[in-house]
Amino acid sequence: MAIKKFKPTTPGRRGMTVNTFDEITTSKPYKPLTVNLKKHAGRNNTGRLTVRHQGGGHAQKYRLVDFYMTDKKTIPAKVETIEYDPYRTAYIALVCYKDGERRYVLAHATMKVGDEIITDETAKLVSGNRMEIGNIPTGLQIHNVELIVGQGASSVRSAGSSATVISQEWEYTQVKMPSGEIRLVHKKCFATLGQVSNTDHNQVVIGKAGRSRWMWKRPTVRGKAMNPVDHPHGGWEGRSPIGMKAPKTPTGKIALGKKTRSRRKNTSKWILKTRHGKLMMK
């Protein structure tokens, strides 16, 4: 894909870039695989704001993407269209299985209309084919990775990302995640060969605040620019310091130097090396 730049006719246009969407083959989604999702703008069931900086945005329809594909084992599918999905950074592909059913799947970086893909325990080593991770040779790139057997793909799904199979040991496979973390994945878990599409997504420059509002993102305001009733840093006059040794969150908790969530001990046993390079003791 390529990145399109603009002439600096306005301050917002200066530096702004967009995708050229050369890979996209249609502008309208397959209607039977779309649903409307209700927007909550960061509010819970009582109407209170629990997640900040959400709201507004362009109208969108959610595409029902198949992250399992295991109920279509050994049935080949042909790529009909490659489409833009407003709910994710990667592109998606509409595939038609040989039995006539159509589904959306994540598109890989080199996918084209007319390609054939298949899901099987021991499929051919071709990008787009989905197979058990224990049957994938070391050194190959994978995405759409399933971490728990039967749960469906939950990792390596964002634009341009890919994991690497490092080694096969006993009933587990060592996988290097995009973050650099090395973790064990059961050999019965499924993964798709190749790299996720839209590889230049991280090169796009938003350019102006209004474009962020189209994407359901509301402004972020400094705490010390608020009133004391709104933030612990608020109050004082002019550009004064926050008036406290430790920065606080809007709810009054310490923001820097203190962990804000507990360690996920239920998954730590599968991690061999953290994304920071720390070896985990077994």
Counting beta carbons within 10 angstroms of the beta carbon of residue 228, is it exposed (0 to 12), middle (13 to 18) or buried (19 or more)? Answer: exposed
The rounded distance, in Å, linking the Cα atoms of 188 and 145 is 11
pLDDT band per the 50, 70, 90 thresholds, residue 279: confident
| Coil, strand or helix at 142 | strand
Quick one: pLDDT at residue 260?
Answer: 65
Same domain as 9, residue 102 = yes
The rounded distance, in Å, linking the Cα atoms of 102 and 96 is 4
Please indicate, yes or no, if residue 220 is contained in any of the structural domains.
no
What are 82-95's pLDDT values in tens digits? Answer: 999 999 999 999 99
Please indicate, yes or no, if residue 216 is contained in any of the structural domains.
no
Please indicate, yes or no, if residue 214 is contained in any of the structural domains.
no
Listed residues 185, 201, 217: the one ending a domain: 201
Quick one: pLDDT at residue 264?
Answer: 67
Please indicate, yes or no, if residue 274 is contained in any of the structural domains.
yes
What are 202-238's pLDDT values in tens digits? Answer: 999 999 999 999 999 999 999 999 999 999 999 888 8
Q: What's at 105, amino acid-wise?
A: V
Quick one: pLDDT at residue 236?
Answer: 83
Same domain as 238, residue 115 = no
Quick one: pLDDT at residue 60?
Answer: 93
> Per-residue pLDDT averaged across 168-181, rounded?
94
CATH number at residue 129: 2.40.50.140
Same domain as 242, residue 144 = no
Please indicate, yes or no, if residue 222 is contained in any of the structural domains.
no
pLDDT band per the 50, 70, 90 thresholds, residue 154: very high
Same domain as 191, residue 77 = yes
Q: Are 84 and 17 in contact (CB under 8 A)?
A: no
237 or 26, which is more confident?
A: 26
What are 60-80's pLDDT values in tens digits? Answer: 999 999 999 889 999 999 999
> Per-residue pLDDT averaged across 261-281, rounded?
81
Same domain as 242, residue 169 = no
Same domain as 157, residue 36 = yes
CATH number at residue 261: 4.10.950.10
Same domain as 183, residue 236 = no
The Cα diameter of the chain in Å comes to 70
Average pLDDT, the chain: 92
> Per-residue pLDDT averaged across 241-267, rounded?
81
Same domain as 172, residue 88 = yes
> Per-residue pLDDT averaged across 234-263, rounded?
83
**Domain total in the chain:** 2
CA atoms within 13 A on the CB side of 148: 4
Tell which phi-psi region holds residue 215, choosing left (phi > 0), alpha (psi between -120 and 50) or beta.
alpha
Same domain as 234, residue 124 = no
The rounded distance, in Å, linking the Cα atoms of 145 and 127 is 14
Same domain as 187, residue 127 = yes
Quick one: pLDDT at residue 25?
Answer: 95
Q: Global pTM?
A: 0.90
Domain residues for the domain of 85 are 3-201
Quick one: pLDDT at residue 191?
Answer: 96
